[in-house]
A = this chain, B = another copy of it.
Amino acid sequence: MQDTVIWDRVREARKGPRPAHTLDDIARAAISVGDANGVEAVSIRAVAAQLGAGAASLYRYISRKDDLYDLMVDSVAAEYELPSVPSGEWEADVVLVARRIRDVYRRHPWMAELAPHASWGPNTQDYMEFFLAALEPTGLGHVERIEFIGLMSAWIATFTQLVQQPAATGAGRLRHFASIAADPARPQLAQAIVALMRADPSSSSPDQLFERGLHRLIHGIAG
C-alpha cells in the first residue's frame, strides 16, 4: 500500500508492542513545528525530534512526507468549528465560513500553502459537507459549488499572504517594489504598488479590505 492516502490506512495492531504515538500526536508535533518555524522547517527529523522519537520511526505511521502534511491540514481543519447544520441564509453562512478560514490561516500561515494540495481527511470532509449544504439554496450544481469553495479558499490564501502579512516579502522584494513604483513606464502598476505599500491609514484596514473583497467575491466585481 505505498500509494494509499493516509486516511485509508487500517491500523489495528494484533501483535507486538503497542505503538508509542498516535496520528494525532504526530499531527500536533508537526503543527507546532510549522507554527514555530514555518513549513520549510517541517522535516521528518524535526517532527520526530519534537515527538522524542527517532526519525525512521515516523515511517511506522506514515508512508510519505505528504502524509504529514495531510495530517497537519486535516487536524487544523477541526478548528473551523462550524455549526452542524447551515442556517438557511447562504450568504451569511459563506461569510461565516470565510471568516473562520481567515482566522485559522492567520493562526497557521502554512495552511495557505499546504491546504490546496492536501487530501480530504474527515475534518475537511465535514467542512465541505457543511459548505455544500450551505450553498444549496443558491441553486448551483455540485461541481459549481465545489469550484466556489476552491475559489474562496484560494482567495483567502492569497489575501492572507498579500495583505495580511506583507512584511513577509523580505527586504529584496521591498526594494524591487520600490523600483517598480518609481518606473514611469508602467503608471498603473506604479500607482497600485504605492496604494499597496502604505498600510492603509485612511480608507481601509485589512479587515475592511477582507470584508469588501468577500462581498465582491459573492456579488461579482461590478456589484
Contact = CB atoms under 8 A, between A and B. Distances in A.
B219 A222 contact: yes
Number of chain copies forming the complex: 2
Interface string A163-201: 100000011110110011000001111011011100000
A12 interface: no
Nearest to A130: B188
B8 A175 contact: yes
Contacts of A61: none
Contacts of A7: 176
A176 B8 contact: yes
A162 interface: yes
A132 interface: yes
Given A5-B176, A176-B120, A146 B192 contact: yes
Given A4-B175, A175-B8, A186-B125, A192 B145 contact: yes
Interface stretch (A23-31, A102-110, A153-161): A153-161
A95 interface: no
A151 B155 contact: yes
Given A138-B222, A158-B150, A222-B218, A144 B213 contact: yes
Given A148-B216, A158-B154, A186-B125, A142 B3 contact: no
30 contacts: A3-B172, A5-B173, A5-B175, A7-B176, A8-B176, A120-B180, A125-B186, A126-B186, A128-B189, A129-B186, A140-B221, A142-B188, A142-B195, A143-B195, A144-B212, A144-B216, A145-B192, A147-B213, A148-B216, A150-B162, A154-B154, A154-B158, A217-B220, A217-B221, A218-B221, A218-B222, A219-B220, A220-B220, A220-B223, A223-B223
